[in-house]
Amino acid sequence: MPRPWYKGTRYLDTSACSACCQHFLILIAVCWSDLLVSHRHNYISTQHILNLAQHMPHLRCFLHMSTFGTVFNQPWLSSVHEQLYPLPLNLNNQFMTHVEFVQQLMSMPSETADELVRPMLERLGFGYAAYAFGKSLTEQLVAAADIGQGVSKVIVRPSMVTATAGEPYPR
């Protein structure tokens, strides 16, 4: 029996989901300032879910909920278009893809990753918004993913995602 794609999820759960799921919504929102924690919960978790989505023969739509923060780095008062804005990623003066960047980042101790990436966040216009930076990398991951033939991928950037006052509505 294959290992579950996510800790705590049984094989039967993932099998049932794979067998009948037609739409998949991913919303992972971790706003901690720790770079590695944010990347682990956003980028790496999305990688796992994309892997699961590849095994869903009935899947027709994969919707990734991002954040408007992914365009924080665009010039002030400029028009922001509904497109991906690739980031010039480099560590130690070596340019790399988002996949290579995250792999290197996740192999470092947290303090080292922070020391290397914080100046890059400033240079790219994200300031201290590690969450928005991570979501931007995750958008690139989703856009590049090959989920399967006939599966639409959608990335939305709402200005705010919040809980309702009740469960799920006020009574």
Across 27-31, 50-54, 79-83, 91-95, least confident range: 27-31
| Tokens representing residue 104 in the block | 């290197």
Q: Say yes or no to pLDDT of 164 above 70.
A: no
Across 7-16, 37-46, 62-71, least confident range: 7-16
| Cα 138 to Cα 27: distance, rounded to the nearest angstrom | 12
Query: Tokens 């008062």 belong to which residue?
Result: 77
Nearest residue to 15 (alpha-carbon basis) of 26, 1, 28, 25: 1
- pLDDT at 60 (0 to 100): 84
* CA–centroid distance for 149 within its chain: 22
- pLDDT at 76 (0 to 100): 78
Average pLDDT, the chain: 76
Query: Beta strands 90-91 and 94-95: pairing type?
Result: antiparallel
| DSSP run (H or E) holding 62 | strand 61-65
Nearest residue to 19 (alpha-carbon basis) of 57, 60, 61, 53: 57
Per-residue burial over 149-164, b if 16 or more Cβ lie within 10 Å, else e, is eebebebebeeeeeee
| Cα 162 to Cα 153: distance, rounded to the nearest angstrom | 23
Average pLDDT over residues 87-96: 84
pTM score: 0.77
Q: Say yes or no to pLDDT of 38 above 70.
A: yes
Across 5-14, 37-46, 61-70, least confident range: 5-14
Average pLDDT over residues 33-62: 81
